[in-house]
A and B are shown apart, each in its own frame.
Chain A
Amino acid sequence: MAQMMKRRRILQVAAGLPAAIALRAQNPYAAATSGKPDELPKLEAIPPDGVADAQRKFCTGIQLAALKRLCDMVLPRIGETPGAAEAQAAEFLDFILSESPTDRQTLYRTGLDALNTQARAKQGKSFAEVDAATAAEILAPLGKPWTYKDPAEPLTKFLRTAKADILTATVNSREWIQVVSQRNRNAAGTSIFWTEIA
């Protein structure tokens, strides 16, 4: 997906080039710059997620594969609305987990390992590789009613935590907001940011 987005962006940039070059050729000053020398620039820029591959920081390869599968199951693409995969939620959570307190890291490590352990026990494959029915069977704890207190069972606790994190990582992503904010202005994802104290 990231590769497709990178290619699309390169094509978008290339398509605008010939007209700009032709205009600049008529005037040497314009050829020097198409900017406005008396205006302060505000350049559009993007975060790295859409154009670069995040380096794995926390999960092992098999843990990250399980997390990606979990992300895709918790929030799949639905119609035109991007899902957790397009938002690279798993890669983002891998990063944030690398900086998280130990108890959070342990919850995820043991939770992802438990997904793989159960998958192997049921089908002899990792969680990323089992069929949809088996994967759904493993996620059955997510069907339990909500309680305020954390569930005693570690896998259920992990799945509830991961569900919330995956949803947040997705709906706060540029990929999700750009699509959904077209339909709903409240989904613009903007707020007042306070700058750090010097």
Chain B
Amino acid sequence: MPSPLHDVVIIGSGASGAMTAYQLTKKGINCLLLEAGPNFDYTKDRQIRAVYDLPYRGFGKPGRFPHVTQANEFTAALWADEKQNPYTFDPKDPYYWVRIRRMGGKTLVWGRASWRLSDYEFKAKDHDGYGDNWPVSYAEMAPYYDQCEPLLRVSGRIEKLPQLPDGVFLEDKSGDSTSIARFISAAKQKGIPTTKQRRAQGTLASSANLLLPDALATGKLTILPNAIAREVTVDKATGKANGISFVDRRSRREFHVRARVVVLGASCLETTRLLLNSKLANSSGVLGHYLFDQFYVKNTVQAIVPEAKNGRAPGGLMGGTGYIPRFTNLGLLGKAKPDKDYLRGYAVDFSSGGTPDPKYFPHYGEDLQKALAAHTNTGFNATTMGSVLPRFENHVSIDPVVKDAWGIPALRISARYSENEFKMATDAMNTLAELCHAAGFEMLGQHDQMVPPGESIHELGTCRMGDNPKTSVLNKWNQTHDVKNVFVVDGSSFVVGGSQNPTLTITALAMRAADYMAEEMREGSL
């Protein structure tokens, strides 16, 4: 007896897959969700432990995660193991591919930053002539952002900045510490805007607690963990997808599920790998190309607030955070003359408080301990997040040799930054140092070294949207041009990313795609 025919099979339980499931099941559509990793029980699978009780005193097992700088010994079990899940790259151009295979995906530990894109991104080509526009506008996306922010419980402050559209926020009424206010004032004098962080709130802000429980409550969602998708299968007679073949993570048994519609939300590069291995949706030849992300320059500046030294900080001087949205090359949308020697721009997270890392002090022994004591809670630092230009040559392909632990061909990644990103990073460093000086802070260190591509965990663009099937993989509804019942809802659909963290936009796109799918299914078009 054949397995049941599902309305929709969804790959991935993170932000995009779970949002699709949430939206479709609300509309009465039966969904089967496959997650490559295990389900888990928060009360059993997490525990408070002391660092000295860990085998490696917090260092972690040496060499276990050579490309996951976010991993530590406490969180080691979260990240996808590179031996089981290998990928390749030219050693000259390392790529840090960071993955989580557990129910909830990367939303288990995401940074929660939730920014909208604007038409400076959706219509970027109209603005500066580079690359391509998205096939959707901000006006089309706004209603979906409006629905996603309350679901994620995003706090923020209304600012009326055209490059950073306001949202439906839990209003952030918090004040600023004196040191933060000084930095904001210095920025304002240079015409640089600032705002409060916009972040999802709650003890856990994951698809696992915010989306999947409601979807399950409809009775329309079935979740299947430990199911590693191998291939999107196609009915040769119709040319349409008819399901997914997958392998059970633990037993390695092979299975197949049947579905009317296939939705891929496995994360940008896993989805692309699945399509490449399936030899689908690539009549354009751009599948896997235009890989980009945001570059980070971590702790671009590290400064101290001198009045806080030696424990003499008056109340209210230290603490707090803020955000500089992109402020370069804006001008009037569509008519801007670049004001920098690079295109587009960067954003900045800044925070006050804490003790600077010992590496900044050229001491050791008692002198170092005295320096650290004198600088307790004096720190001010800022991290740059810059937009990376989508370029055809940054791409992924299937490695001809390497396979994962389940025999599925692995990905080969070729990506490097361009001169545009290097110039932007240097400008960010100089600007932030100038602001710190103007705010009366003392500099301990500054640099413009970008993390390797991929490390921001914001990989995007390898199944890009577009109106033209010859130059894009997806149409404006996240539907593949080539196979009408295959949708891609994760960050691989992005055409331009900007400097904003992408998760909120990914959820808004997934919700919008789900609405379209539901309507098409109701009309019998899918």
Contact = CB atoms under 8 A, between A and B. Distances in A.
A192 B46 contact: yes
Interface stretch (A7-15, A111-119, A121-129, A141-149): A141-149
Contacts of B151: none
Interface string B42-60: 0011111111111011110
A173 B52 contact: yes
Contact of A99 (B61, B66, B76, B369): B61
Interface in B359-414: 359-366, 368-369
B38 A198 contact: yes
A101 interface: yes
Contacts of B62: 96, 99-101, 104
Contacts of A167: 358
A177 B57 CA distance: 12
Contacts of A49: 52
A197 interface: yes
Contacts of B74: 191-194
B76 A78 contact: no
A76 B50 contact: no
Contacts of A196: 76-77
B449 A190 contact: no
A81 B63 CA distance: 32
Nearest to B361: A146
B54 A143 contact: no
B284 interface: no
Contact of A177 (B49, B50, B56, B368): B50
A44 B75 CA distance: 24
B52 A193 contact: no
B113 interface: no
Given A78-B369, A100-B62, A197-B77, A163 B56 contact: no
A114 to B, nearest CB: 17
B358 to A, nearest CB: 6
A198 B369 CA distance: 43
Nearest to A50: B52
A192 B50 CA distance: 9
Given A192-B74, A193-B74, A164 B359 contact: yes
Nearest to B49: A193
B157 interface: no
Interface string B439-463: 0000011010100000000000000
A195 B361 CA distance: 36
Interface string A157-183: 000100111011100111001000000
Contacts of B445: 146-148
B362 A144 contact: yes
B360 A189 contact: no
B78 interface: yes
Give the interface size class of chain B: 35 or more
Contact of A197 (B49, B63, B102, B362): B102
- Residue with the highest number of chain A CB atoms closer than 10 Å, among B51, B63, B358: B51
B78 A194 contact: yes
A148 B449 contact: yes
A180 B260 CA distance: 61
Nearest to B448: A148
A149 to B, nearest CB: 7
Contact of B56 (A96, A190, A193): A96
Interface string A54-93: 0000000000000000000111101000000000000010
A197 to B, nearest CB: 6
B51 A191 contact: yes
A143 B56 CA distance: 29
Interface centre among A144, A165, A191, A193 (most CB of B within 10 A): A193
Given A47-B52, A148-B445, A174-B52, A195 B77 contact: yes
Contact of A172 (B57, B102, B363): B57
B37 interface: yes
A2 interface: no
A139 interface: yes
A195 B76 CA distance: 9
Given A172-B58, A194-B46, A195-B46, A177 B51 contact: yes
B362 A195 contact: no
Given A99-B62, A194-B76, A143 B47 contact: no
Nearest to B78: A194
B311 to A, nearest CB: 13
Contact of B365 (A75, A99, A193): A75
Contacts of A192: 46-48, 74
**Most chain A Cβ neighbours within 10 Å, of B53, B365, B366, B368:** B365
A193 B58 contact: no
Contact of B53 (A47, A74, A160, A194): A47
Contact of B54 (A193, A195, A198): A193
Given A148-B445, A197-B102, A190 B38 contact: no
A195 B358 contact: no
A73 B364 contact: yes
Given A47-B53, A192-B46, A195-B45, A148 B447 contact: yes
B52 A177 contact: yes
A164 B47 contact: no
Given A76-B366, A191-B49, 6 more contacts: A146-B359, A163-B359, A177-B50, A190-B50, A192-B74, A194-B78
Interface of B: 37-38, 44-54, 56-59, 61-63, 66, 74-78, 102, 250, 358-366, 368-369, 444-445, 447, 449
18 contacts: A73-B365, A75-B369, A76-B365, A96-B62, A100-B62, A101-B62, A104-B62, A142-B364, A143-B362, A148-B445, A172-B52, A174-B50, A174-B52, A177-B51, A188-B50, A189-B51, A189-B58, A193-B47
| 4 closest Cβ pairs, A-B complex | A148-B447, A174-B52, A193-B49, A100-B62
